[in-house]
């Protein structure tokens, strides 16, 4: 077996970690599916809009704060909390649009946008 000089213990650790991540991902996917089933996809899409607006507001407030104060820490906590809310809603949206065609389109867009980002940061610029 070729394992890039990784010890057997390290390899076992990585395998177990990967299995734990897969289980966590499956549990999350199931939770998101059940949530969408429970509330309905229209409701959850509107909820996503609401959470995105809250994140937008939290980012703006944090960005405008220029002094390291307790207030700023609260703004950071608020930003992180809204980020989690949005991640949860994104997970639900991905469960709503999860047909093979939609997933393929999603992965293609994601790959394309990541390539554009790589190009941008390597100073090749965008078209």
Question: What is the contact surface with Mg ion in residues (CB under 5 A)?
Answer: 51, 54, 82, 85
**Closer residue to Mg ion (CB): 82 or 95:** 82
Q: Report helix angle 41-64 to 70-96, nearest 10.
A: 150
Instruction: Give the CA dihedral 84, 90, 49, 36, nearest 10 degrees.
Output: -110
Q: Which residue is nearest to Mg ion (CB)?
A: 85
**Closer residue to Mg ion (CB): 28 or 54:** 54
HSE-CB at 89 with a 13 A cutoff on CA atoms is 20
**Closer residue to Mg ion (CB): 36 or 48:** 48
**Shortest spacing between CB 59 and Mg ion, in angstroms:** 12
């Amino acid at each position: 077996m070729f394992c890039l000089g990784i010890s057997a213990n390290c390899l076992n650790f990585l395998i177990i970690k990967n299995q734990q991540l897969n289980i966590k991902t499956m549990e999350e996917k199931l939770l998101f599916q059940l949530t969408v089933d429970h509330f309905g996809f229209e409701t959850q899409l509107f909820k996503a809009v609401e959470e995105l607006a809250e994140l937008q507001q939290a980012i703006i407030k944090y960005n405008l704060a220029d002094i390291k104060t307790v207030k700023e820490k609260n703004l950071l906590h608020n930003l992180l909390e809204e980020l989690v809310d949005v991640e949860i809603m994104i997970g639900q949206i991905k469960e709503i649009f999860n047909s093979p065609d939609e997933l393929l389109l999603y992965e293609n867009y994601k790959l394309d946008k990541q390539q554009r980002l790589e190009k941008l940061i390597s100073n090749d610029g965008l078209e």
